[in-house]
Structure 1
Amino acid sequence: MAEEPVPVQSLKEDGITVALTYKTLNARAIMDEVRSPKAGAIVLFAGTTRDNFDSKPVLHLAYDSSPPLALQTMLNIARSMKSKHSLTAISIIHRLGVVSIGEESILIAVSAPHRQAAWKGGEDALEDVKEKVEIWKLEEFGGEEGGVWRANRDGAVGEKVMDGYNGKNTG
C-alpha cells in the first residue's frame, strides 16, 4: 500500500509563509495570508499548467521536491524579498504531485504599502523560486513522447534533470 503524501508542509515567521502541498491551491487563502491594514497593495501571481511545451502537447505536469531543502530555500527567498522590497508580507506555496492543465502549480502573494514594491517583490520572488528552489517537474507529453523530468525553470528547452531520476519524493 502506497504511503499517503503529507498534505501541507509549511514554515512561518513574521509576515512570511512558505508551503508545499499536494492539494489544489487557493488564491483567496494566500491573499488572506498577506492582507494587512498597513498594505495598500496585494499582488498575486498564479502559475498555471499550460497544454503545450516546445510545440508538444502536454497532458499534465507532476512536481517532486526535497521538502526540507525546498522549504528552507523558499523561506530564505521570502526573507530576502521582504527586506529588499520593504514588503509587509509574502506568501509562497507550490504544488507537488500531478497538476492538471489549467490548474495552478504556484501562488505567490505579496503585500506592501505601495504597488510598485508589491509588483517588483512578487516578480523577483518568482524568478528566485524558479532558479533556486529544489523542485523538479515531469512534463508528460501525449502520444509516444512519454515524459521528461526537468528543473523547475522556464525556457524553450528547459533544463533536463539527470536521466536516472526516478521521480520519487526525496524528502
Structure 2
Amino acid sequence: MNEVPRAFEGEQSVSEPNIYVSLTYDALDATTAMARVKNPKAGAVVLFAGCTRDSFASRPVTHLSYSTYPPLALRSLLSIAKAVHYEYELVGIAITHRLGRVDIGDESVLIAVAAPHRKAGWRAGEECLERVKARVEIWKEEWFEDGGVWRSNRDGQAGVPVVEGGGSDAGGAE
C-alpha cells in the first residue's frame, strides 16, 4: 500500500575526491557512511541520522515515503556537499538519502562529515542537513492511519492531502 515504484535498484551515487552523495531504496548503513569519510587527517567524524518518528502534530504516523528524479537530486546533493566541504574545511563528507517507504524508526538520511576538529564537524553536519532539507528535490509523503499528506521536506511545513492516483487534493493545505 502507498508504495513508490523503484526508479532503480541498489544505490545511485556521484562522487569526487572526499565527497560522496547517493540515493537508495535500501536501508541505510551508518557504518558505511562513516567509513566513506574517515581519514587520518580527521580528528572528528560526525554522523547525523534522520529517523522517521511515530507522530506529527499529535497524529500517529504509519510511515513516510520519499520520491525524486534521481539525476536532479544527485546534482543538488553534490552541490551542497561541495559547498559545505569547502566552507567548513572538511576532510570528507557523505550524504545518503533513502527513497520509497521508510518505516517508523528507520533512517531516511545519513550525513557524515570528517573534520580536523569537532566544532567544524558539528557545524558542518547541521548546515548540510538544513541545506538538504531546503534545497534538494526530494518529495515526502507522510502517512497516517486515515491517509497521506504531501509535505515539504522542511520541518513543520503544511502538507497537501494525497488522493488516490498519486496526485494531491487541490483543496489546499492541511
- The equivalences for 1:2-151 within 5 A come to 5-142=8-145, 145-151=146-152
Partner of 1:154: 155
* 1:122-165 Cα shifts (integer Å, max 9, x gaps): 000000000000001111101xx30011121112xx24369789
Unpaired runs of 5+ in structure 2?
168-174
Q: Secondary structure at the match of 2:155?
A: coil
Q: State percent identity of aligned pairs.
A: 53
* 1:5 Cα deviation from its structure 2 partner: 3.2
* 1:86-109 Cα shifts (integer Å, max 9, x gaps): 000000000000000000000000
Q: How far, CA to CA, are the matches of 2:117 and 2:134 in structure 1? A: 26
Q: How far, CA to CA, are the matches of 1:73 and 1:159 in structure 2? A: 23
Q: How far, CA to CA, are the matches of 2:66 and 2:110 in structure 1? A: 14
Distance verdict in 2 for CA 1:86–1:4, change over 3 Å: closer
Corresponding letter in the other structure for 1:31 = M
Q: How far, CA to CA, are the matches of 1:75 and 1:38 in structure 2? A: 22
Q: Secondary structure at the match of 1:37?
A: coil
Q: How far, CA to CA, are the matches of 2:64 and 2:112 in structure 1? A: 22
Q: How far, CA to CA, are the matches of 2:131 and 2:59 in structure 1? A: 27
CA contact (8 A) 1:58 1:140 kept: yes
Q: How far, CA to CA, are the matches of 1:33 and 1:139 in structure 2? A: 30
Distance verdict in 2 for CA 1:42–1:101, change over 3 Å: same
CA contact (8 A) 2:6 2:25 kept: no
CA contact (8 A) 2:6 2:100 kept: no
Corresponding letter in the other structure for 1:138 = E
* 1:120 Cα deviation from its structure 2 partner: 0.4
Unpaired runs of 5+ in structure 1?
none
Corresponding letter in the other structure for 1:147 = G
Corresponding letter in the other structure for 1:131 = A
What is the root-mean-square deviation of aligned Cα atoms in Å? 1.8
CA contact (8 A) 2:148 2:161 kept: no
Q: Secondary structure at the match of 2:9?
A: coil
CA contact (8 A) 1:153 1:159 kept: no
TM-score (norm 1): 0.89
Corresponding letter in the other structure for 2:53 = R
